[in-house]
Structure 1
């Protein structure tokens, strides 16, 4: 049985910077004939009276030109076909005179320095800090988005800073000089697929300065741009929002199949990878659905950390209750029963579900109090008790 059949039978039935010439060649626009339109989702192209590029714009990567002046963006599975003066579903890519431009380039609207555990990454550089940023825009329409005030906006609608890649890396190096625990950049908050070019170019420059690059994304991205991204970053966290196609289409304006493809590609890439599932009451909290998700994940790898996170009512779902802890703990136990070695619960009070236990001797090896590391008994990537290898990037 292939994965699509597995999902349907098992779940749906239940409910300009220094970039190398090789990179530029790989990202150059192509000529192509028109494709068939995809099934319409809530996220669709937007018609504008006119498109003004301004200073924060760069020609897009991964797109093709049609003979009539339209362009097709190929960064995410929406594959938006844009007439002149149209904007993509992500709100950041535009067709100006037959060329695809990103308008989210060098203009972050949010910047913070966060504990890496807040992303959350539990097995990547623990107790360090990430210089975290986002631009406006997102290629999904999640009804419960906690950052909707930036993700559902155009870059022209937010208050932005002027930080092109070179300047951004200078700022991060300066922060690292003040605090050596600032070891990485996190592309986060909205969805970095919407500011793909900015992320790619910044990552290339940051890597040259010994700065790690981490990506927090919904994983709604096409294979070629994902593989190019993997080449220049160090860790990826994907929000696997559920395991049901109807849920993805109706609540997120996306399609599950592409997210699973992305998860499998990242898992096989050698880059560090963690998954988060936000458990939303009545929408994706069916225990059998969660079990199917965990069975699938265990088939990919039992060593990918899985975080179940508590939903809080907001945006278009203000009347749903917060996720009961019992639902989260039940999901935690289901994942453990499916053989997943590293399972966590987030957005709750600290407890055993925040800690890392050795799958060999079962002893506590990493204790966390919120975003603070209380103790770390991993030495040379191994349990200090029984020497079982603990997957991760620990220093």
Structure 2
């Protein structure tokens, strides 16, 4: 349904500024933003996907991936159509790019915030994820749902490419408990060429969300020949380590998809190399994803080395949590994360 997109500012001559993401689209009447779902209607910004879920599933929290956030629990996941990025390797391109390639049409089933919270509670989920496509493009829908979820005792997680404005993060932060943010590349040229975005706003969003006390985990999909050099992987790990050595880094295996079918699957040796680079830069929690590796999917106490959370499976969804009140059962060290 069409609803007011209130994270916006009216400008002169009927123009409107979208304040949700760093693209900061200034739209003429009738013009859509880069996301394909925020539009200027007669000088007012509107969302065309409010309450319209293109995807809704119950997932293991580990699938997001979030490894230091209520491990072993389930999360009610929703997404709409539309995205403010155009990643050539997108795995959910059927929904993320649908409006832009279908004359700004949208689709989905009506699922209002009250229904999402009700279903999440009924199915025993401990949290709600805004995922599958970029959640900031349906900001108002996520905001209303997150607020109700908090009131019902549920936590909220954004799975995002990290293009949120400070204003958006400020509005969300009272209700947003966790974020998994992609660091897709560490070269602005790659962001522009492959994802229609920029690097600096992503790094700024990570820094700002972290400063607001939101639990952050990051993900890098390692694409052969694009972002798999030692230098680029070290730059990503170093940026993160300078911010917080406790921030988990998920290094994920690439599979050809959408418009990037010419690249091979990421070799396992590359994933292991990235893992060791992250360790060398001081990161305490690094995880290999999209590949079954029980040793490198599990969490170890950084003080005594005890395996505090055992994980196995393609997505690390087979979980044995040995933490006691968020502490290592062997030496008592507090393990960073959201455990209850």
What's the TM-score, normalizing by structure 2? Answer: 0.96
2:33 paired with 1:84: no
In structure 2, the partner of 1:7 is none
The C-alpha deviation readout for 1:133-173, integer Å capped at 9, x for no partner, is 10000100111000000000129645411112122222222
In structure 2, the partner of 1:226 is 169
CA contact (8 A) 1:93 1:102 kept: yes
In structure 2, the partner of 1:166 is 114
Q: Say which SS state the counterpart of residue 98 (structure 2) adopts.
A: coil
Alpha-carbon offset, residue 351 of structure 1: 2.3
CA contact (8 A) 1:138 1:190 kept: yes
Instruction: Provide the C-alpha distance between the structure 2 equivalents of 1:321 and 1:78, rounded to a whole number of angstroms.
Output: 31
Instruction: Provide the C-alpha distance between the structure 1 equivalents of 2:207 and 2:199, rounded to a whole number of angstroms.
Output: 13
- Name whichever of 61-70 and 283-292 sits farther off: 61-70
In structure 2, the partner of 1:115 is 60
Instruction: Provide the C-alpha distance between the structure 2 equivalents of 1:98 and 1:376, rounded to a whole number of angstroms.
Output: 52
In structure 1, the partner of 2:276 is 333
Instruction: Provide the C-alpha distance between the structure 1 equivalents of 2:119 and 2:320, rounded to a whole number of angstroms.
Output: 31
2:131 paired with 1:183: no
Which portions of structure 1, spanning 4 or more consecutive aligned residues, are displaced by more than 3 angstroms? Answer: 155-159, 371-374
CA contact (8 A) 1:235 1:273 kept: yes
Q: Give the alignment partner of residue 16 of structure 2, picking from 45, 68, 71.
A: 71
Q: Say which SS state the counterpart of residue 382 (structure 1) adopts.
A: coil
2:231 paired with 1:283: no
Counting matched residue pairs gives 335
Superposed, 1:1-395 pairs within 5 Å as 56-154=1-99, 157-176=105-124, 182-370=125-313, 371-395=316-340
- Name whichever of 166-175 and 68-77 sits farther off: 166-175
Where in structure 2 are there 5+ consecutive unaligned residues? Answer: none
CA contact (8 A) 2:71 2:319 kept: no
Q: Say which SS state the counterpart of residue 366 (structure 1) adopts.
A: strand
Alpha-carbon offset, residue 62 of structure 1: 2.2
CA contact (8 A) 1:126 1:373 kept: no
Alpha-carbon offset, residue 217 of structure 1: 0.3
The C-alpha deviation readout for 1:50-91, integer Å capped at 9, x for no partner, is xxxxxx121112211122111111111111111111111001
Where in structure 1 are there 5+ consecutive unaligned residues? Answer: 1-55, 177-181
Alpha-carbon offset, residue 230 of structure 1: 1.6
Instruction: Provide the C-alpha distance between the structure 1 equivalents of 2:240 and 2:14, rounded to a whole number of angstroms.
Output: 43
What's the TM-score, normalizing by structure 1? Answer: 0.83
Q: Say which SS state the counterpart of residue 384 (structure 1) adopts.
A: coil
